[in-house]
Structure 1
């Protein structure tokens, strides 16, 4: 009995602390800012703990979304405790996210309202990097900080690396979550896939057009395909799947006009990813000069171990680099039952001293 009481007395303060953190109010601000190019307007969301007045190079974070889904379903999912933004805000971070041009609540160019086949892929990576730059400069100026941290997921990791290779002076650290990089035998993005022009093998398949349509069923099927067991419920709960798909579709005002409902996702990412996966890099990690974490789930099929191995090899000028693989996890590890290990690895990296010896 005494032993049980001792354990309870130890755990109770931790439990109460966790409950207090969950109850801590979070401030949210949504706005539109000017992009770097005429007529480009970018949706930006900020979240932080209510009453927070601390803004430093160490606690300002900007999330960068990936290829299909805009920022808010990715990083601020309003289901139970699945908002990554809220988690970091409760840890004292000032958190930003934004939608790249032609995504979500940012402005869309005319090609997005025409049949996809009438135009070539829109939102190429070099333009997405310009959008990242607009948001980084906006946040730095707003909070009078010289540097901030970027956390990019999937194509967001690729464009984060691209941006860092050009503007390391504006960054404190970067987290590359599930980056594709330079794996020339990539089975989802490279030669032999639908992204390749079969008549001109070195060329992208421009027949895919300006954008593609993403449905809830397609998103779920992709996730299912990475979970290596029949019972998908061992990796995730169905509620988070439903919530994510609903919030994803809600970011496109035209989604309900199609059957089944679908959002429009620019194809610039596919063209650039095909180039990356066939040996034609847009950027090189050797041009990055800030501490870098490379992280992915064990069963991720966007970012293969071979991608991350070459990326780590090329990070020759960073003062700290780490590569972490989360076991029993997929591309969507942030929404899975094993996500605590993923979050903890990132939080440890954000706080770790730069003088720490780099780990392969």
Structure 2
């Protein structure tokens, strides 16, 4: 369906909305989540009723049908998706009004923005990592656990973003050519410049980095080891950007995207009993869970919230400038003295 059609003859409003989400830069995962909810809503409506003709009572009945089967926060999320759908379609002139406005005002459920998550100890996580033998899979999981970066940031890493003091690797790969890594061996650079659909380092990106300032994260001896084992088998790639992580099965030699990484993590989490279809953030171990694990355990061990916030990439400019200018003393030393062991 072309987005150039007039709003008067939109035959598939859900498809129209999902297509526009793509143009707005939303990821495949986000668009898929919206489509699952909206198609479920379509299927729920009585024969003859469409999203265009549905009333607030139809919307209320749909939300009520979700109760009991889904957690309260999930019900609230589904309602928010429907509300945004109607709001957008009203703004662009496809629908005459938003029947979800009243429903949202009267709902008791709210989205839990900080859910309690599964409590996994460091020894249990160490056992989990020990069960991952594939060099790529172990490198992905250990990088997430050791750095706290987001899955999109992981996928956007290029060879130039990794600096290691290792003659074997330095003579084989063009590593660490970022100016920010000069005099900072054994570190990873996370850029704030990657955005979906935009070109960076000669390649169009399929994920965005959400941090607003550059971050340099130390690479300890364990992460150095797993990355070196991965690079020893890394397939050649035709990408001019030289992605650090590429496919070894489907999409051989192509940059991994966030969905591929999520599938890899889900596979091992299911085997460990840490993932269930339909389980929420409080139950399932995902790449984002590793960011939570990193934050919780490193903050508890260092007692330094500033360093942890710097590493996560979510601090104010004045704070990040402090750690950037005194990186060796305040970031590397604190990190290396306190980061947990995984191998």
Which structure: greater strand fraction?
A: 1
- Mark the structure with the bigger radius of gyration: 2
TM-score (norm 2): 0.23
